[in-house]
Structure 1
Amino acid sequence: MATHIKLSLDTRRKDTKTFPLIFRLTHNRKTTSIGTGHQLFVSDWDQKRHQIKPSFKGTESPARLNNLLQKRMAYMVDMLTQLEDNNKLKYMSVSEVRSYITRTSNKVTFYQFTEQQIQDMLKSKRVGNARVYKHTLNAVKNFRKSKDFTFDELNLDFLNRFEKYHLGKGNKLGGLSVYLRTIRAINRKAIKSGIADNEGYAFNDYIIRSGKPEKRALPINAIRKIAELELDENTALYRDRNIFMMSFLLNGMSFVDMAHLKLSNLIDGRIKYSRKKTNEPYNIKIHNQLKPFLTFFTKGKEKSDYLLNIIKSDIPTDSYNQIVWARKRFNDNLKKLAELAGIEENITSYAARHSFASGANDMGIPLTAISQMLGHKRISTTQAYLANLRKSKMDEYQDEIFGQLSEKRTIS
């Protein structure tokens, strides 16, 4: 048979530390790959035996994962053998062979795949993401009355019925939007892993309606009013005002990322860390205006100490709950700060991030630069992020255009 398949680590990219584990399919001297959904360090891959080493930390049991991968490969090899026995294989292209064996080998269900994603997130200490996936899985199970299904059944009709079911129970559009965006993310990961078929991707035809409230960015003069409030240093208001200003002066750093900052992240006049949401490395200059606020949180602390003293536990679920409660108290105090500063806008922990993004956009800073400063992986994310922050600027342009109608002109 001029066709074979093997498990291998794809180390072609040189700009990364971990590499995708793939099934490499060769057919008539042409090759293609089938993803497994796993990323490994070279040190965790046994090249001689074509299997994952026990040192791999990306799963609870490397031995069990090796067994599952071998079963999946055996199933695909069996499909290849059947094609050859039926004299069909030689007439197929390598892409047709790939499509056939990935579609027919799809035995992983939606529930199984999602549960695995949740476990992987918990192991990576991405507790917030894991909870969103768990809530979404529970919502789907309620809709399906716990009946499992394959990704082939995740079609346009499924999405429309899920929407009707959710809204029919009196739930809000915002919750539906979160569930559907999570289902979409799960579907995309399944396609990348070779579990689902790209041809059956229903979100090409389904539009997720946004239920998010309009986000309000603060003008720079409102930010200045908050910064200049005279507050007692021994109060929670003083502390939370400083956290708000730090968020703004750190390019709109999220509350979760600030909660995870340690003094060890302060290196040579910069703050270096990885975003919890995306795990992307981030490097920010410590601006002179940031230093007074930063000094308040660094007094008398060691390099291993957290900057904000929010996280008290090494257990990811506990630390996540501690951040949630701290953010609730922070939002309550932001309302009080807004009142003291005479600001009518509703302020939450996201206001500093939105204000930074909006201010940068109004100044004409290139979208690519704003995207990098916000820590977005894709410019499209930044475009969507800024879409509802531009209204005030559009109003100014409108006033400028229509204002010409009332200008007095001298007729000679």
Structure 2
Amino acid sequence: MMSLKEKSKTLKREDNKCVIYLQLTHESRIKLISTGLKIYPWQWDSNHMCIVSGVSDISEKAQSFLDSKIKNMGKKQVASEMEYDCFTQALSCEENDKESLLFFEFMNDLINRLEISGCYRTAQTYKCTYRSFSRFLKKHDICFEKLNADLLKKYERYLKDRGLTLNSISFYMRILRAVYNKAIENYQINKKNLFKHVYTGIEKTRKRAVDEGVISQLKKLDLENKPGLALARDLFLFSFYTRGMSFIDMAYLRKRNIKNGFIYYNRQKTGQQLRIRIEPCIQEIINRYVSVMENSDFILPIIRKNDNEISSKKYLNAISYQNKQLKIISRMLNLPINLTTYVARHTWATAAKKKNIPISIISEGMGHNNESTTQIYLASLDQAMIDNANHKILCEL
């Protein structure tokens, strides 16, 4: 008889994630089959061989996802009553899958994995691309083998005809490329240079940071009778005060993350462990919502009390509401750009750079895996410094 078990196996990846494997056992021989579901080591209970409950909404979704995988593999690979070797059959099933692998079916599977892993924003970008590419193909799924450079060029023209900018086109193309590369990785399909003749670059955009004077304006803004706007302002400031903590990490922040005057947490995006000293301005915001969050494990009222887990829908609703409130505040202050959750993060990086803090320290403080990511945040700052220098020179003529 064969048995299927969940097993965690560490991958040699920069994000230090693990893959959950199903263990197929037959006559003392073992075959590990990847589910493709990636989680962080701290999300895995090695004693009970299951996903830790309560860390996000991954527990229930992940179990459902694994159950469907087991059921699907059971139909294809359980061959205890067959006369031939079950491993030969398993491998032949994988070959058949490779030939009939459907693009949208595979992409939908990736989206499910992302949501299970708590990568809600990334899942949303995949969904957006899924809908766009599906409309282009009139909702007809295609095999990976039929995906070619000519089809992608037609899709690029389709997007241009609808008035999309180059960066928007690149956004869709880079996600399609990521899906294609995942299929190559998981199914060993023949790799082709499909994206060579479509735009996948990034054009410079307007800066996404505000001057430090805006932070002072926000602190002084009277929002006493506007609790929704006051909360949005506090969350923006909290992100800035905590070295640009991302909104998803703020949403997951729990009371157990505070120890001896420090906030300890793992970034949802990379799993990197960060420690932030609680300055008086940070403590002031935490104290403001102590009574509101009295019956919750969470610190900030992003996901309301009594919710032990964060679902993708609740999180996406929360970040959408936050950005809408910040847009109202931006109009109140007559700001040249709209405040968003990203602006707080960019503003901290920009402020640090202006104070001549080394990029290596800024990168470490923001939890970036490498300095090249930090450089993207600071690209607009460098141009602004050049413009200011030119202005001073011209004024002195």
**What's the TM-score, normalizing by structure 2?**
0.72
Partner AA of 1:61 in structure 2: S
Specify the alignment match of 1:316 in structure 2.
Answer: 311
1:64 matched to 2:56? The reply is: no
Partner of 1:143: 136
**Cα deviation, residue 131, structure 1:** 3.0
Farther-moved stretch of structure 1 (315-324 vs 183-192): 315-324
CA drift of 1:75 comes to 6.6
Superposed, which structure 2 residues align to 1:305-344 within 5 Å?
305-312=297-304, 314=309, 316-339=311-334, 343-344=335-336
> Residues 333-364 of structure 1: CA distance to partner in whole angstroms, max 9, x if unpaired?
3214524xxx5444333221111111223333
Q: Are 1:261 and 2:250 matched, yes or no?
A: no
Shift in alpha-carbon separation, 1:44–1:139, aligned structure 2, 3 A:
farther
Aligned amino acid, residue 118 of structure 1: I
Give 2:4's aligned residue.
Answer: none
Using a 3 Å threshold, how does the CA distance of structure 1 residues 386 and 116 change in structure 2: closer, same or farther? same
Deviation at 1:136, TM superposition (A): 1.5
What's 1:363 paired with? 355
CA distance in 2, matches of 1:244, 1:9: 37
Q: Give the equivalent residue in structure 1 for 2:56.
A: none
Give the 3 Å change call, closer, same or farther, for CA 117–291 of structure 1 in structure 2.
same
TM-superposed deviation, 1:133: 1.8
Q: Would the aligned equivalents of 2:169 and 2:199 in 1 still touch at CA under 8 Å?
A: no
> In the alignment, residue 323 of structure 1 is paired with which amino acid?
A
Distance in 2 of aligned mates of 1:316 and 1:303: 19
Tell me the CA shift for residue 162 of structure 1: 1.0
Output aligned runs, 1:181-192, within 5 Å.
181-192=174-185
> Which consecutive residues of structure 2, in runs of 5 or more, have no partner in the other structure?
1-6, 24-31, 50-61, 79-85
The answer to whether residue 215 in structure 2 is matched with residue 223 in structure 1 is yes
Partner amino acid, structure 2, of 1:331: L
Cα distance, 1:323 vs structure 2: 0.6
Task: State the identity %.
Answer: 27
In structure 2, how many angstroms separate the alpha carbons of the residues matched to 1:43 and 1:376? 31
**Contact 1:174 / 1:210 at 8 angstroms: preserved in 2?**
yes
1:291-320 CA-to-partner distances (Å, cap 9, x unmatched) read 222221224643734333232455724413
Q: Match for 2:170 among 166, 174, 177?
A: 177
Q: Give deviations 1:217-259, integer Å, cap 9, x for gaps.
A: 22223323333x1525453344333222111111112334323
Q: Is the 8 A contact 2:9 2:18 kept in 1?
A: no
User: For 2:382 and 2:135, how far apart are their aligned partners in 1?
Assistant: 39
Q: Distance in 2 between matches of 1:112 and 1:387?
A: 38
Aligned alpha-carbon RMSD (Å): 4.1
Q: Secondary structure at the match of 1:272?
A: strand
The answer to whether the aligner puts 1:18 opposite 2:18 as a matched pair is: yes
Larger CA Rg, structure 1 vs 2: 1
Q: Deviations over 1:342-391 (max 9, x none)?
A: x5444333221111111223333333332232233343332333323322
Query: Hey, what does 1:124 align to over in structure 2?
Result: 117
Equivalent position SS for 1:216: coil
1:240-282 CA-to-partner distances (Å, cap 9, x unmatched) read 3322211111111233432333333323222233434445444
Partner Cα separation in structure 2 for residue 69 and residue 362 of structure 1: 60
1:133 aligns with 2:126: yes
Give the Cα separation in 2 of the matches to 1:337 and 1:307: 28
Tell me, yes or no, if the aligned pair for 1:103 and 1:196 is still in contact at 8 Å.
no
Q: Partner residue of 1:246?
A: 238
Q: Is the 8 A contact 1:311 1:322 kept in 2?
A: no
**Aligned partners of 2:95, 2:386: CA distance in 1, in Å?**
49
| 2:36 alignment counterpart | 37
1:153 Cα offset (Å): 3.7
Check whether the contact 2:243–2:365 (CA below 8 A) recurs between aligned residues.
yes
Change in 2 beyond 3 A, CA 1:208/1:69:
farther
Distance in 2 of aligned mates of 1:255 and 1:205? 36
C-alpha separation between the residues in 2 aligned to 1:386 and 1:34? Answer: 42
| Contact 1:248/1:356 (8 A) holds in 2 | yes
How has the CA–CA distance of structure 1 residues 299 and 201 changed in structure 2, closer, same or farther, with 3 Å as cutoff? farther
SS in 2 for 1:61: helix
Query: For the Cα contact (< 8 Å) 1:298–1:307, is it kept in 2?
Result: yes
Confirm or deny: 8 A CA contact 2:293 2:300 kept in the other structure.
no
Q: Deviations over 1:104-159 (max 9, x none)?
A: 94442212211111222233344433333223222212222233233344443332
Query: SS where residue 273 of structure 1 aligns?
Result: strand
> How many residues are matched?
355
CA shift for structure 1 position 209: 4.6
Which letter does structure 2 place at the counterpart of 1:59? L
Unaligned runs of 5+ in 1: 1-7, 24-32, 46-55, 80-100, 407-412
Q: Secondary structure at the match of 1:388?
A: helix
Could you tell me which amino acid in structure 2 is paired with residue 191 of structure 1?
I
Once the 2 structures are TM-superposed, how far is the Cα of residue 11 of structure 1 from its aligned partner?
Answer: 5.5
Contact 1:335/1:346 (8 A) holds in 2: yes
